[in-house]
C-alpha cells in the first residue's frame, strides 16, 4: 500500500508551510486583537487559495479546482501549525454546500458570504419530539400567508443553539401530501417574536443542545431551498455533507494516545495499569479499531482522488468512529475507578488528572446520535451494503 501523496503534493506542502510561517504569527495577542488577527489571516489564506476552495470568488471564496490531495495537505499543515481553518459549524459544513448545489443565485448572494464571515450562525432544525429516527414524520407546520411562511411547532436537539442566529430545516408545508412529499426546506431568522429557545441540560451539566418553539414565527417566502414539497431530497444533500464532516484520518489517534497515557498514570495493585494483561489486551483491541478507521479514511481519500463514489465507506467510518470512541471512554472509566463517580462540575473535567475524562465518557453517548444513530447506520450498511432483509422492527412501524 502506497500512502505517499506524490512529489507534486510534497512541493505544494512546502508552499503551504512557507505561507503559514509568514502569515500565522499570533504571538501574545489576546481577545479582540486576536480575533482581528484571525479574521485577517483567514482573508490572506483565502486570497492565497488555501481556504474556502470550493466556494466561488463572487461569494468570497478562493474558487480553486477540486483537488482532494491538496485539500488534505492543507488540513495537515494547518493542523501542524495550529492555524485556524474555515469558520466551522452547521453553516459552513452543511448549509453552504447545500446552497451551492440547490440554492438560487439570490440565496447564494444573501447567505454564503455572511455565513463565511460568522455574521450568520446556523442551527439545524430537523429533529422533533416524538419523531425519533423517522425524519420524514416532522410535524412543525409552515403555512404560506402572502409573501411569508408562518411557522408553528417545535424543534429539538439543535446543536450550537445558544449562538445560532438563523436556522435551516424541514417543515411540513403540504399537510395532505405523502409523508416524504409534504415537507419543504426553509431558512429563518431566530431573533424575532414568536421564537423561543430553551437549553437542554446534559449529564455533563452543560447545555450542548437547545429546543426551539415557534408560535407564528415568520420567514420570507423566498427563503425556501429547492421546490416546495421537495424538502426531503434537499435534506439528503445536507445530511450527506454532515456525515462527511464527522471525523478525519486521525480523529481517534489523539484520544487513543491520551488513553495510553492514562493507563500509564493510573495504578492497579501498586503497578502502572498498562502493565496489567487485561488492560494491555483491551488497548490492543482498541488500537486495531483506531488503525482500521485511519486506513478506511485513506480508502475514502483515494476514492475521492480517483473521482469514484464512496458508497457506504463513509457510513462505515462514522459507525467505527462512534463505537471506538465509546469503547475508549469505557476503558478510561474503568481505569479512573472511584474518580468516575465525582460530579464533573466539582471535579474540574477540563483540568488536570483523570477527571478530565469524565466529559469524554459521557459525551460519547451523544456521539451515537450525531449524524444518524448507530442502529440506523447499521441498518443502512446491512441492507444496502450486504443485501440483508429489512429490519422487522422498522417494517412493523409502517
pLDDT digits (tens, 9 = 90+) for 51-68: 999 899 999 999 999 887
Q: In this structure, are 288 and 185 located in the same domain? A: no
Predicted confidence at residue 297, as pLDDT, reads: 79
Rounded to an integer, the average pLDDT of 211-238 is 93
Residue 174 near residue 228 (C-beta atoms within 8 A)? yes
Q: What is the DSSP string of 17-86?
A: HHHHHHH---TT--HHHHHHHHHHHHHHHHHTTSSSTTS-GGGTS--PPP-HHHHHHHHHHHHHHT---S
Backbone φ, ψ for residue 18 (5° rounding): -65, -40
Handedness of CA 130, 135, 138, 140 (dihedral sign): positive
Q: How confident is the model at residue 350 (pLDDT cuts 50, 70, 90)?
A: very low
Is residue 94 assigned to a domain? no
* Known catalytic membership, residue 242: yes
Of the two residues 96 and 380, the one the predictor is more confident about is 96
Report whether pLDDT(167) > 70: yes
What is the percent of the chain with per-residue pLDDT over 90, rounded to a whole number?
A: 49
Is residue 236 assigned to a domain? no
Q: Give the range of the structural domain holding residue 275, as residue numbers without chain letter.
A: 248-394
What is d(CA 362, CA 344) in angstroms, rounded to the nearest whole number?
10
Q: Which three cell numbers stand for residue 94?
A: 452543511
Of the two residues 362 and 92, the one the predictor is more confident about is 92
Report whether pLDDT(25) > 50: yes
Q: In this structure, are 256 and 313 located in the same domain? A: yes
Predicted confidence at residue 347, as pLDDT, reads: 42
Q: How confident is the model at residue 160 (pLDDT cuts 50, 70, 90)?
A: confident
Q: In this structure, are 61 and 125 located in the same domain? A: no
Is residue 242 assigned to a domain? no
Give the CATH number, domain containing residue 360. 1.20.140.10
Half-sphere exposure of 244 (CA within 13 A, CB side): 17
Of the two residues 143 and 26, the one the predictor is more confident about is 143
Q: Which three cell numbers stand for residue 50?
A: 488555501
Last residue in a domain, options 204, 230, 256 = 230
Compute CA distances 75 → 78, 80, 250, 376, whole Å.
Answer: 5, 9, 11, 30
Q: Among 324, 305, 255, which residue's Cα sits nearest to residue 66?
A: 305
Is residue 348 assigned to a domain? yes
Q: In this structure, are 310 and 216 located in the same domain? A: no
Q: In this structure, are 252 and 377 located in the same domain? A: yes
Q: In this structure, are 252 and 390 located in the same domain? A: yes
Q: In this structure, are 226 and 258 located in the same domain? A: no
Of the two residues 2 and 313, the one the predictor is more confident about is 313
Report whether pLDDT(191) > 60: yes
Q: How confident is the model at residue 348 (pLDDT cuts 50, 70, 90)?
A: very low
Number of domains composing the chain: 3
Of the two residues 345 and 46, the one the predictor is more confident about is 46
Q: In this structure, are 345 and 295 located in the same domain? A: yes
Give the CATH number, domain containing residue 170. 2.40.110.10
Predicted confidence at residue 345, as pLDDT, reads: 46
Report whether pLDDT(144) > 50: yes
Q: What is the pLDDT of residues 112-137, one digit of tens each?
A: 999 998 899 999 999 999 876 677 88
DSSP H helices, the chain, are 7-23, 31-47, 68-81, 89-90, 96-102, 105-116, 231-245, 253-265, 277-305, 313-336, 344-347, 358-367, 374-380, 392-396
Is residue 113 assigned to a domain? no
Q: How confident is the model at residue 39 (pLDDT cuts 50, 70, 90)?
A: very high
Q: How confident is the model at residue 351 (pLDDT cuts 50, 70, 90)?
A: very low
What is d(CA 238, CA 253) in angstroms, rounded to the nearest whole number?
28
Predicted confidence at residue 248, as pLDDT, reads: 56
Average pLDDT, the chain: 86
| pTM score, whole prediction | 0.77
What is d(CA 242, CA 90) in angstroms, rounded to the nearest whole number?
8
Last residue in a domain, options 59, 86, 113 = 86
Residue 234 near residue 185 (C-beta atoms within 8 A)? yes
Q: In this structure, are 253 and 386 located in the same domain? A: yes
Is residue 111 assigned to a domain? no
Is residue 286 assigned to a domain? yes
Q: Which three cell numbers stand for residue 299?
A: 480508502
Chain centroid offset of residue 108 CA? 22
Residue 187 near residue 231 (C-beta atoms within 8 A)? no
Predicted confidence at residue 308, as pLDDT, reads: 75
Last residue in a domain, options 230, 256, 284 = 230
Report whether pLDDT(365) > 80: no
Predicted confidence at residue 75, as pLDDT, reads: 87
Is residue 15 assigned to a domain? yes
Selecting among 77, 128, 242, 323, the annotated active-site residue is: 242
Handedness of CA 205, 211, 215, 216 (dihedral sign): positive
Q: What is the pLDDT of residues 233-269, one digit of tens each?
A: 898 776 655 544 544 556 688 889 989 999 999 999 9
Amino acid at each position: 500500500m502506497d500512502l505517499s501523496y506524490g512529489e507534486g503534493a510534497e512541493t505544494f506542502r512546502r508552499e503551504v508551510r512557507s505561507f503559514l510561517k509568514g502569515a500565522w504569527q499570533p504571538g501574545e495577542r489576546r481577545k479582540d486583537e486576536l480575533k482581528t488577527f484571525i479574521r485577517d489571516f483567514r482573508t490572506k489564506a483565502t486570497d492565497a487559495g488555501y481556504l474556502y476552495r470550493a466556494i466561488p470568488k463572487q461569494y468570497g471564496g478562493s474558487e480553486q479546482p477540486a483537488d482532494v490531495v491538496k485539500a488534505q495537505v492543507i488540513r495537515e499543515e494547518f493542523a501542524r501549525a495550529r492555524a485556524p481553518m474555515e469558520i466551522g459549524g452547521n453553516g459552513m459544513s452543511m448549509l453552504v454546500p447545500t446552497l451551492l448545489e440547490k440554492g438560487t443565485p439570490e440565496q447564494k448572494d444573501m447567505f454564503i458570504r455572511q455565513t463565511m464571515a460568522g455574521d450568520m450562525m446556523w442551527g439545524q432544525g430537523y429533529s422533533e419530539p416524538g419523531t425519533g429516527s423517522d425524519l420524514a414524520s416532522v410535524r412543525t407546520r409552515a403555512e404560506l400567508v402572502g409573501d411569508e411562511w408562518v411557522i408553528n411547532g417545535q424543534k429539538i436537539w439543535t446543536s450550537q443553539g445558544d449562538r445560532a442566529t438563523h436556522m435551516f430545516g424541514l417543515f411540513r408545508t403540504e399537510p395532505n401530501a405523502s409523508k416524504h412529499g409534504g415537507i419543504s426546506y426553509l431558512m429563518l431568522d431566530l431573533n424575532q417574536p414568536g421564537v423561543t429557545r430553551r437549553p437542554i441540560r446534559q449529564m455533563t451539566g452543560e447545555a450542548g443542545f437547545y429546543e426551539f418553539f415557534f408560535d407564528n414565527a415568520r420567514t420570507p417566502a423566498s427563503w425556501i431551498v429547492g421546490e416546495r414539497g421537495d424538502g426531503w431530497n434537499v435534506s439528503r444533500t445536507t445530511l450527506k455533507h454532515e456525515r462527511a464532516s464527522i471525523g478525519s484520518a486521525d480523529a481517534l489517534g489523539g484520544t487513543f494516545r491520551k488513553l495510553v497515557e492514562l493507563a500509564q498514570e493510573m495504578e492497579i495493585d501498586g503497578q502502572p495499569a498498562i502493565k496489567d494483561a487485561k488492560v494491555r489486551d483491551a488497548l490492543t483491541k482498541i488500537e486495531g479499531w483506531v488503525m482500521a478507521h485511519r486506513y478506511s479514511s485513506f480508502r475514502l481519500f483515494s476514492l475521492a482522488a480517483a473521482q469514484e463514489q464512496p458508497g457506504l465507506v463513509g457510513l462505515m467510518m462514522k459507525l467505527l468512529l462512534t463505537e471506538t470512541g465509546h469503547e475508549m471512554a469505557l476503558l478510561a472509566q474503568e481505569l479512573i475507578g472511584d474518580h468516575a463517580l465525582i460530579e464533573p462540575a466539582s471535579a474540574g473535567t477540563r483540568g488536570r488528572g483523570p477527571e478530565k475524562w469524565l466529559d469524554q465518557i459521557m459525551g460519547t453517548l451523544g456521539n451515537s446520535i450525531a449524524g444518524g444513530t448507530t442502529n440506523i447506520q447499521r441498518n443502512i450498511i446491512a441492507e444496502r451494503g450486504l443485501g440483508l432483509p429489512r429490519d422487522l422492527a422498522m417494517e412493523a412501524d409502517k
